Chains A and B, each alone.
Chain A
Amino acid sequence: MTSAMWRLCGWSLVMLLVVEAATGAALAAFYSPSATGAWASVAYVQDQMPMGWLVRGLHFHAGSAIMIVAGVHLVQIAVAGTYKAPRSLVWWIGLLLMLLVLVFAISGYVLRWDQAGYWANRVELGIASGTPVLGGTIRKIAIGGNEYGNLTLTRFYALHVIVLPVLTVAGVIGHIVLARRHTPATWSVALRQAFVMAVVFAILLGYVASQHGTDLAVPADPSAAFDARPLWYFRWLFELRHLAGSAELFAALAAPALVGGFLVALPLVDRGTTQQQRMPWIAGVVGLFTLIGVLTIASFGADSGDADLAKRQAQSEKDASRVRALAVKYGVPATGPADIKLQIPMYRARSLYEQRCKGCHEADSKDRKGPIIGPGHGTREWFVGFLKAPSGDAYWGHTKLAKTDDAMKPVELGDADLGDLAELLYSQSGASDVVESKRARGKTIFDKACTDCHAIDEGVAGSSAPGLGGVGSRDWYTSFIGNPKSPIHMGPDRSQMPRFDKDLSLVDRDALAGYLVWLRTASQHDVDLLEPL
């Protein structure tokens, strides 16, 4: 009876390994093992390939299913005592296969190169490097040198898709052939195994569908904090080290060694022949797995009671879906997913604007210190409004200059003349829709009314006010942002705006200037339509 029971798991395990091999081969056809390509290729399969999420989900969760079914298989055999000679070699090969599955899990998790896989691996190898004497070398061999990078991925990839599968296939063949020698197969057992296999697969498929495959966090980032957690079958160790306090490294290394050693030694030390004589060993195995189960549950319990953690996890899920949506929309740059946001239109300029400009220039800013910058900034209408009330609220009203005698006075001209003057100023931006006749009239007015203070020739400063040659053009903005206090612009005493030529590179200032030029012809609707940063 018992021997038929444990053999029910056999087909399920073979089926799960075949699922891993088939889905793994499909995933390998997409995977790019490099620091810049890994996350991108996984995200591509997950979010853009037909049924990619399903294949990836099956591949990931079948690993969990193997751990569960193999665990049941192992406990059943231990309880039945069928690991004894002449079957002990079958038992040892089985244990070796379980070890291989764990190495599969570790090597597979890092390949996705997201925050979850990256940090889990860093911690795991941090623990491994605590091994006496050999620790540092183990880590270096594993990650391929001194630091995480391209070689880390190529190594784990080679391990995961070539070395481990070859060893596993050899182990499985040995395990089955030897087991068959001791217990020949019968059709009635085969049918029951097939039935169990179908049930296991149905549960796996249902679970994968309910999870939409498996997660993919934001790309690996060595600077960003992430609540890294090991895969669930390592959670008991995670909890154990937590409980062990200062002895935690010992716990993390010694506990698996002790558990492994105990299981390997079982066929040798268990000399009982009756159920009663074997009771201590049966209790030992059952107790061990119960303890592992309790620790696992305790670990998940501790996390689920942590409200701060839940908040951070919700945020990182939000971040993940955002960056994955960007990857779908724009693709991942060849330089890697760290640059994914650079593809958002005017990303650099807009984020600089948010950080450096908005506080003093945004309409709804509480500490606005300068003119409002927004859609329509620098249009004809904007210039007319300015000429009518230079110290108006939307213009220089919030500046210190507005409260001094240096402030520009409203230009008292009729609407037609103001319009012509505005056309002249507007023309300086290089806009293509300048009305030449109006601009020419504006120039005449300018020469009469404005040249006491201003100048409008290229590169010429006004006698007591800004030179206006090229005002509103991209080059002019770049120059103004670089040093508003330059004599050609506001002069040393008339502007509170800091100079940015030290702080921001020419490329950054030019990018900001490009954004300001874009704003001139943009409407609020256009601004609202921009991809959020």
Chain B
Amino acid sequence: MADDPDRRGFLKVATCAIGGGVGLVVAVPVVKLVLGPTGEQTVTTPTDPIDIGAADRLRVGAPWQKVDVVAPVVKDAWSTAHDVVLGGAWVRRQSESQLQALSAVCPHLGCAIGWNGQNFLCPCHDSKFTADGDPIAGSGPAKRGLDPLPIEIKDGRLRVTWVRYKLDTASREKA
């Protein structure tokens, strides 16, 4: 009786079904949980303009100045943090009313951009950009110029809006 092939086959299938069923019941919530944050805004980023200092500190004609874009409040998963550095921006003022801000996030793979006195320079893969933020052909892998950030003056304060763009594309799309 123990050698009955039908019986053995049934036992095998039943055992595997029970084991597999338990496995599946565990696997579903585990995978769901681990993938949970994927579609979520787990780290909030303010989309409103962010104060970066008094307007008169940015003198007309002065060289590019690096500022930290600091979010007053960021919710990062379970914690709320204050004064969180989102990233850097390079700002200058060409005339009283004409302001310019460039994101210091390299459009290639997102490293923070430095300034060597003449050019913008990405320390990771050597992309160089002119003083206007345009890519210098042949210098590195960046496919587009530095990304502009909206900048304005309100009540005597400079305000920059933080935007992240898709990396490593020739066109500029919001991420």
B110 touches A145 (CB 8 A): no
Shortest C-beta distance, A85 to chain B (Å), equals 29
- Choice from A123, A146, A150, A338 contacting B40 with Cβ under 8 Å: A146
Q: Which of A217-256 contact B (CB under 8 A)?
A: 221-228, 241-242, 245-246, 248-249
Q: Please measure, in the bound complex, the distance between the C-alpha atom of A35 and the C-alpha atom of B42, giving whole angstroms.
A: 13
B88 touches A149 (CB 8 A): no
| B118 at the binding interface (Cβ < 8 Å) | no
Which of chain A's residues has its CB closest to B167's CB? Answer: A126
Which of chain B's residues has its CB closest to A34's CB? Answer: B79
Contact with A along B19-56 (1 / 0, CB 8 A): 00000000000000011011111110100000001101
B124 touches A227 (CB 8 A): yes
Shortest C-beta distance, B129 to chain A (Å), equals 13
| A441 at the binding interface (Cβ < 8 Å) | no
A150 touches B76 (CB 8 A): yes
| B85 at the binding interface (Cβ < 8 Å) | yes
Shortest C-beta distance, B6 to chain A (Å), equals 34
| A127 at the binding interface (Cβ < 8 Å) | yes
Chain B residues within 8 Å of A473, by CB = none
Q: Please measure, in the bound complex, the distance between the C-alpha atom of A338 and the C-alpha atom of B40, giving whole angstroms.
A: 26
A249 touches B111 (CB 8 A): no
Q: Please measure, in the bound complex, the distance between the C-alpha atom of A505 and the C-alpha atom of B120, giving whole angstroms.
A: 33
| A140 at the binding interface (Cβ < 8 Å) | yes
| B123 at the binding interface (Cβ < 8 Å) | yes
B87 touches A223 (CB 8 A): yes
B81 touches A140 (CB 8 A): no
Could you say which of B68, B82, B156 has the most chain A C-beta atoms within 10 Å of its C-beta? B68
Chain B residues within 8 Å of A241, by CB = 125, 141
| A502 at the binding interface (Cβ < 8 Å) | yes
Contact with B along A104-140 (1 / 0, CB 8 A): 0000000000000001001100110110000001001
Shortest C-beta distance, B94 to chain A (Å), equals 22
B43 touches A335 (CB 8 A): no
| A493 at the binding interface (Cβ < 8 Å) | no
Could you say which of A141, A147, A224, A225 has the most chain B C-beta atoms within 10 Å of its C-beta? A225
Given contacts A127-B109, A145-B41, A225-B112, contact A502 B79 (CB under 8 A): no
Q: Please measure, in the bound complex, the distance between the C-alpha atom of A126 and the C-alpha atom of B169, giving whole angstroms.
A: 12
B113 touches A146 (CB 8 A): no
Chain B residues within 8 Å of A338, by CB = 85
Q: Please measure, in the bound complex, the distance between the C-alpha atom of A227 and the C-alpha atom of B111, giving whole angstroms.
A: 9
| A346 at the binding interface (Cβ < 8 Å) | no
| A374 at the binding interface (Cβ < 8 Å) | no
Which of chain B's residues has its CB closest to A120's CB? Answer: B124
Q: Please measure, in the bound complex, the distance between the C-alpha atom of A222 and the C-alpha atom of B85, giving whole angstroms.
A: 7
Chain B residues within 8 Å of A150, by CB = 76-79
Shortest C-beta distance, B136 to chain A (Å), equals 14
- Choice from A126, A147, A224, A503 contacting B109 with Cβ under 8 Å: A126
A to B contact number (C-beta, < 8 Å): 121
A223 touches B141 (CB 8 A): no
| B102 at the binding interface (Cβ < 8 Å) | no
Chain B residues within 8 Å of A246, by CB = 141
| A409 at the binding interface (Cβ < 8 Å) | no
Sorting the interface of chain B by its residue count into under 10, 10 to 19, 20 to 34 or 35 or more gives 35 or more
A228 touches B87 (CB 8 A): no
Question: A-side binding surface: helix, strand, loop or mixed?
Answer: loop
Chain A residues within 8 Å of B141, by CB = 241, 245-246, 248-249
| A79 at the binding interface (Cβ < 8 Å) | no
Given contacts A150-B76, A150-B79, contact A145 B37 (CB under 8 A): yes
Chain B residues within 8 Å of A224, by CB = 88, 112
Chain A residues within 8 Å of B34, by CB = 141
Q: Which of B62-114 contact A (CB under 8 A)?
A: 66, 68-69, 76-79, 81-82, 85-88, 104, 108-114
B168 touches A149 (CB 8 A): no
Given contacts A144-B42, A502-B156, contact A225 B77 (CB under 8 A): no
Could you say which of A144, A223, A246, A336 has the most chain B C-beta atoms within 10 Å of its C-beta? A223
| A151 at the binding interface (Cβ < 8 Å) | yes
B156 touches A148 (CB 8 A): no
A222 touches B81 (CB 8 A): no
| A322 at the binding interface (Cβ < 8 Å) | no
Which of chain A's residues has its CB closest to B113's CB? Answer: A225
A335 touches B81 (CB 8 A): yes
Q: Please measure, in the bound complex, the distance between the C-alpha atom of A36 and the C-alpha atom of B74, giving whole angstroms.
A: 13
A222 touches B167 (CB 8 A): no
Q: Please measure, in the bound complex, the distance between the C-alpha atom of A151 and the C-alpha atom of B36, giving whole angstroms.
A: 11
- Choice from A35, A36, A144, A148 contacting B37 with Cβ under 8 Å: A144
Given contacts A126-B167, A223-B88, A503-B54, contact A228 B123 (CB under 8 A): yes
Given contacts A222-B112, A225-B114, A246-B141, contact A149 B87 (CB under 8 A): no
Chain A residues within 8 Å of B124, by CB = 119, 123, 227-228
Q: Which of B114-130 contact A (CB under 8 A)?
A: 114, 116, 121-126
A147 touches B123 (CB 8 A): no
| A318 at the binding interface (Cβ < 8 Å) | no
Residues of B within 8 A of A (CB): 34-35, 37-43, 45, 53-54, 56-57, 66, 68-69, 76-79, 81-82, 85-88, 104, 108-114, 116, 121-126, 141, 156, 164, 167-168
Would you give 16 A-B contacts (Cβ < 8 Å), ordered by A? Answer: A119-B112, A127-B109, A140-B39, A141-B35, A144-B77, A146-B42, A151-B37, A151-B76, A221-B112, A222-B85, A222-B86, A222-B87, A224-B88, A225-B114, A312-B123, A502-B54
A242-B126, A503-B57 provided; 10 other pairs, C-beta below 8 A? A34-B79, A36-B79, A122-B109, A122-B110, A123-B124, A126-B108, A222-B87, A226-B111, A245-B141, A249-B168
Residues of A within 8 A of B (CB): 34-36, 119, 122-123, 126-127, 129-130, 137, 140-141, 144-151, 221-228, 241-242, 245-246, 248-249, 308, 312, 335-336, 338, 502-503
